[in-house]
Copies of this chain bind each other. A is one copy, B any other.
Amino acid sequence: MDKQKLRWNGWGLCDAPDTLGDKAEGIWEWLGAYTGLGMLPHTPACALEDIVMPPVRLVPEQLQALEEILPGRVKTDRFERAYHARGRSYHDMLHLRRGRLEHAPDAVVYPQIIEEIEAVVRYADRNAVALVPYGGGSSVVGGVTPLLREGQEAVVTVDMALMNRILKIDKHTMTARIEAGIYGPELERLLQSEGVTLGHYPQSFEYSTLGGWIASRGAGHQSNKYGKAEDWLVSARIVTPQGIWNTEEFPKSAAGPQLRDMTPGSEGVFGIIADARVHIHEVPEKKEYRAYLFNDFDSGVKATRLLLQHEVQTAMVRLSDANETFFYSVMHGGAEVAENGPVGFCLMLVGFEGAGDEVAHQRSRAEAILSQCGGADMGGSMGQLWLTTRFDTPYLRDPMLDHGLGVDTVETATDWNRLPELHENVNTVLEEALRRHNPNPGAKGLAMAHVSHSYRNGASLYFTFVFPRTPGASIEQWLAIKQEVSDAIVANGGTISHHHGTGTDHLPWMAREKGPIGYGMLKALKTTLDPQGTMNPGKLIES
């Protein structure tokens, strides 16, 4: 991954086209009118050379010691430090774009083998240097912000990008052993050249890594078939300050609790994931993605629930609410579609992957349920379009930020009983918060949501919101909105995150989510594996 070709303060390739502006004519005018801003302002980001960063706090002897461990792979230049100063959340973008970085790593190091990780961890642990494990840096919860804890004087980011090999593909057990720093596209290219796939396609797929997916307990679009990180992870090697932790790797066991389950979601606070063994699948013979339209959200939710509870084998069920269905139709159809506003219809995309006859069989089972719930078949074109353009979506943010707008997402999961109310209540809180924390009286935001991952007992809900930014106080504006919407999620029985993770941003809600006993267990594990607090301070748990 050549980072020089990537935006250090935005999403993806520097020379990516302006997907939003290109997409739909009159879209800026419409957004300006809808949000009450009228003409959207021009709000460019600060250039790299103008960014103010704290000085490097590592002394020459320390840099020399690191250089001896990782010859030629200790970086302290402006680009590397700024690139690794933040993840890729809206909150991060505000920091990266404003020209002043409070936090930046004092150095970025690139290990190539597990022994180098061990040596770096040992050095850091003995010298009060904090370490931040770094995959693709696409965290949207502050998971890679280089923070210090008391007594530490410097922080080094460990970028895993050079540990990007597939160590073994074993078709007999349908597992592969893979180094943690491999990016999504390279991982799938190598696997698929052997006829197999991991099938993990998160929204961040192009710029995130295997290790990051595990550490954040991520989910790919097709999690209904391929599982979340905790489902497809077989075992891992994690370099902790106490040594290398090899997790159990039996298919199943009853020899005590499975400690491997403490790896997904560990966010680098126990150690650095060096490599992992994962379940793989044959590359599906057929992928079929189709659209269905429901009269209302509740009917679509019911259909989703029944698909899962009747064990119809889908790869994906993605149900947009009326607002999101409306917004996407404007995005695709242009401003003239917008005239009548949201009309209530809810779009569902359903994906099937597998052998041809099995895809046909499962589609027919699915359609019996969908039709029973009032879903109208819209054919295959919208599903196919989504499949081929889905990784463009994150590119929508940068131009919005350039036009005085803010855009962020929050996500959760809850059981089917609570889901409708959570959807309604969080939406209300969100719209109210977007109105209240707004620079211009009368201006408003757009809030929309979809169900993207579903289970027998419940589903995830993913909210997206677009709103006019408060000039000069956009971070404060975001913090206020984030607080209110997160409180609403938790108050309505949702988890603080279904697949983004905790990082710094969800930390305030963790103690309540885990409860006093569970939180104590998590802290005990931290203290056991990382007694000095070397690993990724300030994330996941208070310490």
Q: Give chain A's interface residues, CB within 8 Å of chain B.
A: 170, 172-175, 216-219, 228, 230, 234, 240, 242-259, 261-267, 279, 305, 309-311, 313, 354-355, 358, 361, 365, 413-417, 453, 455-460, 494-502, 506, 509-510, 513-518, 520-522, 524-525, 527-529, 540-541
Contacts and interface: CB of A to CB of B under 8 A. Distances in A.
A218 B254 contact: yes
A457 B251 contact: yes
10 contacts: A243-B517, A247-B518, A251-B413, A251-B456, A251-B460, A252-B455, A256-B514, A256-B541, A257-B522, A520-B529
B417 A173 contact: yes
B457 A174 contact: yes
A292 B228 CA distance: 35
Contacts of A456: 173-174, 251, 279
A239 to B, nearest CB: 10
A458 B250 contact: yes
A170 B305 CA distance: 13
B257 A264 contact: yes
A528 B521 contact: yes
Count the copies: 2
Contacts of A251: 413-415, 455-460
A413 B250 contact: yes
Given A247-B518, A416-B173, A516-B243, A252 B524 contact: no
Contacts of A217: 253-254, 256-257
A529 B524 CA distance: 10
Nearest to A260: B518
A358 B368 CA distance: 14
B502 A255 contact: yes
Contacts of A243: 516-517
A265 B261 contact: no
A529 B522 contact: no
Given A251-B459, A255-B265, A279-B456, 6 more contacts: A175-B457, A248-B495, A250-B413, A254-B500, A255-B501, A259-B514
Contacts of A415: 173, 175, 249-251
A254 B525 contact: no
Contact of A259 (B240, B249, B521): B521
